[in-house]
Structure formats: structure tokens, C-alpha cells
A = this chain, B = another copy of it.
């Protein structure tokens, strides 16, 4: 018979706890620099417990991406719907990114650190599909917007990539303490992207 209840009256869910510890460590030290032993010690369990829930170290990263990146992707995709006002849509997207980075700083630090990582590295190969989908969603926005703005025609890929680049840059700047992720920064970013530094 199928069962959905827990056998052990655990104080906390081990699987989620492992994931949380792994994310913290990956974000602060980098994926390759963190050992499995370090993760499970931080989580207060042992290695076989981790390997019971996840196939391997890579599976940990995959689970993190599945939990957070797909969530982010949905929000970004929704915000990317074009309704005739490109400035508003870009503002919405930026706010989704900023909100997500503020709400899940560890995840976003990890995504940031792997954004331009070597394509051959294991970690990059795990996150690439998600990055690609984010990119495609924004590409489509610019493709639609090009119908109203002729000068955008044929530039949707470069616009999507550079827009994502500016967003990642601004979030990186905030993580390094140079500024704060607030509505004013959203405005500055959009203004810079749309009109450049010459007001």
C-alpha cells in the first residue's frame, strides 16, 4: 500500500537540511572547493544518509537547481510576457531577479559564481540548461518587442544576453556591498539599459 507519512518522527527533514547546508557551502566557497564530508558534517549526519537521498555530489547541485532555478525561471518567464510596454516588462523582470536574489541570496550567489564558469566544468554543465532557458525567455520578449521597435530587429539575442549580464552585474555589485537591491536600483538599471548613462 502507498504511504505518504513519515516513519520517523524527525525533528527536521534530513533531505531538505542536507540541501540547505550544501547550498550554503557551495555559495560561500564554490562548488569544487566543498567536499561531501564537509556538507554532511555541517548537516549533522553521515555520508550514507546523503547518498541515500542523492545519487552523488552532482545530484546535490541538480536538486538545488531544480528547487530554486526552476522556480526563478517560472517567475522570469511570466514577467517576460510582452504587452506593448517594453520598459515595464524589463522592469518587472528585473524586480523578479532582485527579489529572488534578496530572498535566496545563497542560491543566487551560486548561480552568479557559475554564470561565466568554464563550460567544461561539471557545475556549469548542471546549471547551463537553466541559464539557457532564462535567456530564451528574454530573447522571446525582445523578438516580440521588435515588432513595435524596428531598431531592435535582429538584435534580440545580444539584447537578451546583455540584459541578463547587466542584471547579474548589478546583483553581484550588491552582494559585494557597493549598493543595495531596491526599487531605486531597479530604476537605475532599466534607465541605463534603455537610455544609457547619458540621461
Contacts and interface: CB of A to CB of B under 8 A. Distances in A.
Nearest to A110: B118
Interface of A: 27-33, 109, 112-113, 115-123, 149, 151-152, 155, 157-159, 161-162, 164-166, 168-170, 172-173, 176, 178-179, 188, 191-199
Contact of A165 (B32, B117, B165): B165
Contact of A197 (B117, B159, B176, B188): B159
B28 A118 contact: yes
B120 A29 contact: yes
B118 A116 contact: no
Nearest to A151: B199
Given A32-B33, A161-B178, A165-B172, 11 more contacts: A29-B118, A33-B122, A113-B116, A115-B116, A151-B198, A155-B197, A159-B197, A165-B166, A165-B169, A169-B169, A195-B195
Contacts of A169: 161-162, 164-166, 168-169
